[in-house]
Amino acid sequence: MMEPSKRVRSINLSEIRKMFEKADKNSINLGLGEPDFNTPKHIIEAASIAMREGFTHYTSNMGILELREAISKKLKIDNGIDAPPESILVTVGASEAIYMCMQALVDPGDEVLIPDPGFLSYKACVNLAGGVARGVHLKLDNDLRMTSEDITDAITDNTKAIVLNSPSNPTGSVMKKEDIKAIAEIADDNGIYLISDEVYEKIIYDTKHHSPAKFCENGITINGFSKSYAMTGFRIGYVSANSEIIEELLKIHQYTTACASSMVQKGALAALEGPQNSVDEMVSEFKRRRNLVVKRLDDIGIECIKPHGAFYVFPYVENPAEFIKKGLEKGVVMVNGGAFGIHGKNHVRLSYATSYVQLEEAMNRLESMNI
């Protein structure tokens, strides 16, 4: 009997996308993590010009040099990371970069420490590589932040890699500098890869982002343009690491996608080199929305840690399935926290990447549930 591979059968389709499909025209979708802002016009124009001028062919597998030079400059200024262009690989979104890392670095049986609750792609990509995903319990006592003590408790002789995600999807938590630095030292001391997913780096409030690769030799930095520049449909990202790691990642990239879209790379270049006021305006609005949602949930009596980054809240509820069901009946789409790991089971994730007016209405509907 014909069957798909055991690796593929071991994973499930995204719970986020399943909830997305349940939304109707009258629903307010708080399930999908996509900025509701339009891509800045100068980025669209740069990609359009590239197409009109015939820049529609394959590029270098690594990505166009101008973009990698701009990313190198960005990493130095924003993150304190010395990454020459040859240590940067342009990818089809941060999602491809995560997949590439697991395929290139993880052998069957290797353990990878991932946040729990954490972005659901981490576990799936580890499983597809034949690895073992071990969730690191993010505790309410620490505001759902990963700490160096969490890593020390979870690490074993089989640990091959550690995944960090700060600011976090789904919790919105932001790790402290001292924890990031300590985990970087743990990774170096034990010969462990440290993979840092920093796609929400720019969407941060009341605190500062710190990149692990600034503090360690085995640091791998993943980032993209989808969240910061409202470019989700462009599918463009990058990964930075030392030359030995990049060479291995390139093998996966060559045989899966060959190169990122040529004209989209020109749009990404415009995003980095052009005005940044759109990012500042977007973050300011996200902060306003965060404050609204946290306050309204508190008024309703739902326990919710105030997030310091990304555009999610991750409130505690005793019965998430019932809460989500009642929400759907009121036309509010949410995601069960259990989709993000066993330690997310008493939570739901709400995205506030939709308009302020829509969020007000969504909170009114949740309040009318009489929880």
Together in a domain, 96 and 202 = yes
Q: Which domain holds residue 360?
A: 6-39+277-367
As given in the structure block, the two tokens for residue 36 are: 């509701």
Q: Closest Cα partner for 88 from 62, 66, 127?
A: 62
Together in a domain, 161 and 289 = no
Transcribe 113-179 into DSSP letters. EEEES--HHHHHHHHHTT-EEEEEE--GGGTT---HHHHHHH--TTEEEEEEESS-TTT-----HHH
Which phi and psi (to 5°) does residue 197 adopt? -90, 110
The answer as to whether 119 is a domain residue is yes
Residue 13 binned pLDDT confidence (cut-offs 50, 70, 90): confident
Cβ-contact 68, 220 below 8 angstroms: no
- Residue 12: what pLDDT? 74
Together in a domain, 300 and 163 = no
As given in the structure block, the two tokens for residue 206 are: 């009341």
In a 10 Å sphere around its CB, with 0-12 CB exposed, 13-18 middle and 19+ buried, how is residue 231 labelled?
A: buried
pLDDT digits (tens, 9 = 90+) for 27-40: 999 998 899 999 99
Cβ-contact 137, 343 below 8 angstroms: yes
Residue 308 binned pLDDT confidence (cut-offs 50, 70, 90): very high
Pairing of strands 335-336, 348-351: antiparallel
On the question of pLDDT at 87 being above 80, the answer is yes
Other Cβ atoms closer than 10 A to 154: 18
Together in a domain, 126 and 35 = no
Together in a domain, 247 and 306 = no
- Residue 25: what pLDDT? 72
Where is the domain boundary, 224, 249, 273?
273
Together in a domain, 235 and 261 = yes
Q: What is the mean pLDDT of the chain?
A: 95
Over range 56-72, report the average pLDDT. Answer: 98
- Residue 18: what pLDDT? 60
Q: What is the number of structural domains in the chain?
A: 2
d(CA 11, CA 129): 12
Three-class secondary structure of residue 90 per DSSP: strand
d(CA 174, CA 226): 19
The CATH code of the domain that includes 182 is 3.40.640.10
Which phi and psi (to 5°) does residue 40 adopt? -50, 140
pLDDT digits (tens, 9 = 90+) for 161-198: 999 999 999 999 999 999 999 999 999 999 999 999 99
Residue 22 binned pLDDT confidence (cut-offs 50, 70, 90): low
Region label for 191, one of left (φ > 0), alpha (ψ between -120 and 50) or beta (otherwise): left
The answer, yes or no, to whether the previous bond of 275 is cis (omega within 30 of 0) is: no
Together in a domain, 66 and 126 = yes
pLDDT digits (tens, 9 = 90+) for 261-292: 999 999 999 999 999 999 999 999 999 999 99
Together in a domain, 47 and 29 = no
On the question of pLDDT at 225 being above 80, the answer is yes
d(CA 304, CA 318): 13
On the question of pLDDT at 15 being above 70, the answer is no
Positive or negative, the CA dihedral 207, 309, 94, 38 is: negative
Together in a domain, 79 and 208 = yes
The CATH code of the domain that includes 313 is 3.90.1150.10
Amino acid at residue number 334: M
Amino acid at residue number 229: Y
The answer as to whether 161 is a domain residue is yes
Where is the domain boundary, 273, 297, 324?
273
The answer as to whether 1 is a domain residue is no
Together in a domain, 86 and 62 = yes
Question: 298 Cβ partners below 8 Å, 6+ apart?
Answer: 304
d(CA 144, CA 277): 30
Together in a domain, 169 and 249 = yes
Beta bridge pairs of residue 78: none
